[in-house]
Chain A
Amino acid sequence: MKILKVAISNIGPGVILGKDVLTNDGQVLLGNGTTVAQKHLDILKRREIEEIFIISNEDDAIDAGNDDITNKQEEPVSNRSRVVKKLERVFSKVIDNEDMKKLFDLAESKAEQITIN
């Protein structure tokens, strides 16, 4: 038995997942071992997930490695990560100063409330 990486378009209901399918934020959408039903395929298509790992008994199956399959859509950069990046730039020359590190940490903890124009 091997784990095979396949395109959604090449499979039908009844295949068994060889790895978890994750959402963008790391939540398990479908767990390893799930027998895929049509409703699951519909969900995967709606989320534009193009490939999954399935369990295969065929001899030509390949070793899938450790990559998890996630939604292939590019994740939008969150406001928080933009703010943190900006703060890192603003503080880059003073971060070795103990007080300024504390100030950076405080500002970073408020990143959700900060807006960058």
Chain B
Amino acid sequence: MTTPQEIIENISELPTLPDVVAKVNQLVNSASASAGDINDVISRDIALSTKVLKMVNSSFYGFPRRITSITHAVVILGFNTVRNLTLSAFVFKAFNDSKRLEFDQKQFWIHSIAAGITASNIAHGVGLSQKEKEDAFMAGLLHDVGKVVMCEYISDSTKKIIEEVKATDCLFYEAEKNQLDFTHASIGATLLEKWNLPISIVSLINNHHHPMSVEENKKMCCIISLSDILVRSLCLGNGGDEKIPVIPDGLLDELAIGWGDINGFMDASLHEVKKASVFIEMLT
């Protein structure tokens, strides 16, 4: 039996988290860091600084005045969001040139970005904290990152999975379970763990297909699962298959939401994903 850990450990050329992103991550997790500290780290990387400022000044955030310094961005957006922006910029760059991706790359990332936006809106809608809202965005954005790793590094197995998806019109996740000892969820989680992302985000990625069976962080896990489903129902991008999983029993009760709320989340997603073009531009 092959474990996700063995897969990740055996990929020698797997992108490593750059020092600057690792350092930002570390600062965000420390209690004593200031906006100035984060500025010092990010400003050393001109390309990253430019990308972060481009994202901050995009219509996605919609600030009335132009933000010209990383310190200002950190003060306005908060530590977590800046960490998420630096990480997003890195992940897009790391996997952007994948030649082995078996499905449409742009559509894949639109699906991911849309899931991040939707997860963030649901977290806000059910009254979670600002930090949880930001974690939800990050987890939504990265929930399928394991699929990219699989296409890139275990391409033969992944090709067979895609063949089964096409032949039987099933979910990617179902074909994985038929053919492998692991899934994209566990591969993605293992990668993010290796990159020292907070365990709260790692566990969300790991469990996004079975949120009701987890004990800790169940509400957040339900949010990621629901965001994936809503994004599929709105045909926003494509995560590698043409089907939609059912909403797990009890999920809506766990989040204490009804169909009126879901309707609102769907409208918000349709509206906001259009504004998120800055993220999508980074892919091209």
The chain A residues found within 8 Å of chain B, CB to CB, are 83, 86-87, 89-94, 97, 99-100, 102-104, 106-107, 110, 113-117
Q: B residues bordering A, Cβ < 8 Å? A: 107, 169, 229-230, 232-235, 242-247, 252, 259, 262-263, 266-267, 270
Interface SS, B side: helix
CB pair A90–B267 under 8 Å, yes or no, is: no
Candidates B107, B244, B266, B270; contact of A94 at CB < 8 Å = B244
B243 touches A93 (CB 8 A): yes
Q: How far is the CA of A87 from the CA of B246 in the complex (A)?
A: 14
CA distance A66 to B264 in the complex (A): 46
- Other-chain contact of B233, A89, A93, A106 (Cβ < 8 Å): A106
Please give the distance in Å from B226's CB to the nearest CB on chain A: 10
The answer to whether A106 and B266 touch across the interface, beta carbons within 8 angstroms, is yes
Q: Write 13 A-B pairs (CB below 8 A) sorted by A numbering.
A: A86-B235, A94-B245, A94-B246, A97-B246, A97-B247, A99-B246, A99-B247, A102-B259, A106-B262, A107-B266, A110-B234, A110-B266, A110-B267
CB distance from B61 to the nearest CB of A (A): 22
Contact of A116 with B247 at beta-carbon distance under 8 Å, contacts A103-B229, A106-B263, A107-B266 already known: no
- Which residues of A have CB within 8 Å of B247? 97, 99-100, 103
A105–B229 Cα gap in the complex (Å)?
Answer: 14
Most A Cβ at <10 Å: residue of B233, B263, B267, B270 = B233
Q: Which residue of B107, B229, B259, B270 is within 8 Å of A110 (Cβ)?
A: B270
Q: Which residues of A contact B262 (CB under 8 A)?
A: 103, 106
Query: Contacts A86-B235, A103-B229, A106-B233 known; A91 to B259 CB distance under 8 Å?
Result: no
The interface residues of chain B lying within 8 Å CB-to-CB of A86 are 235
Whether A100 lies near B244 (C-beta < 8 A) is yes
- Pick the residue among A92, A102, A103, A114 that contacts B270 (CB under 8 A): A114
In the complex, residue of chain B having the shortest beta-carbon distance to the beta carbon of A97:
B246
A93–B241 Cα distance when bound, in Å, is 13
CB pair A106–B259 under 8 Å, yes or no, is yes
Do B235 and A114 have beta carbons less than 8 Å apart? yes
A91 to B245, CA, bound (A): 9
Task: Report which of B242, B246, B252, B266 forms a contact with A100, defined as CB distance below 8 A.
Answer: B246
B242 partner, pick from A90, A114, A115, beta carbons under 8 A: A90
Asked if A90 and B243 make an inter-chain contact with CB atoms under 8 angstroms apart, the answer reads yes
Do B235 and A103 touch across chains, with their CB atoms under 8 A apart? Answer: no
Bound-state Cα–Cα, A91 to B267, Å: 19
